[in-house]
Chain A
């Protein structure tokens, strides 16, 4: 990525627009990558929880429990 920043010096009121430094760009890219990684991990965890729930419910049904009984003991 590239980009610019607007900098205002409060002591003088002077406003300038300057390119982001390589360090600033690297930090932003690292943050974005970390956020995407965390989003994918959360998504995978949610999918696993949903699959575990479905599997668990089916096992209870196989034992003969009704849907109402399953709700009663799992909620």
Chain B
């Protein structure tokens, strides 16, 4: 049987919400892929979002090793933390209104997301701005210290996500 790659669910921001959440994730696939195309309604130079799963709060559940480079090559950054309630996603692009080319593009691979043990995932990101700095290109590992299967995913910030921002998850079934 050929491997399958199916869209499980998608949520689109309307510009009035600080969080987007997908619940009731199908548990019959082998792996998940989460695709984020987001921006934040703000005038600042970059925003931080937080990704959480299963409605779990607390800093002990999430840890991360991240590295990224400023889009104009001016600096690099790396961190190893477990002090936030959620996986920290930095440098989300900001805009005061919708611009389709201003997007924080991220792909998160959640391998064996139904396993009832601690899990580790991969993230690739390019939080792109067409002009200037305050973008980031990078990758990292996301550690999940809980033991539940992943059944819901939520992206949050302290400002509204821009209209048209999306979070979509795909289920991958091995052949």
Contacts and interface: CB of A to CB of B under 8 A. Distances in A.
Nearest to B18: A3
Contact of A31 (B22, B25, B85, B154): B85
Interface string A11-22: 111010100100
Interface residues of B, number: 32
Contacts, number: 84
Contacts of A13: 9
B6 to A, nearest CB: 11
B80 to A, nearest CB: 13
Nearest to A23: B57
Interface of B: 8-14, 16-26, 48, 50, 57, 83-86, 88, 154, 156-158, 160, 169
7 contacts: A3-B160, A5-B18, A5-B21, A10-B22, A23-B57, A27-B57, A27-B85
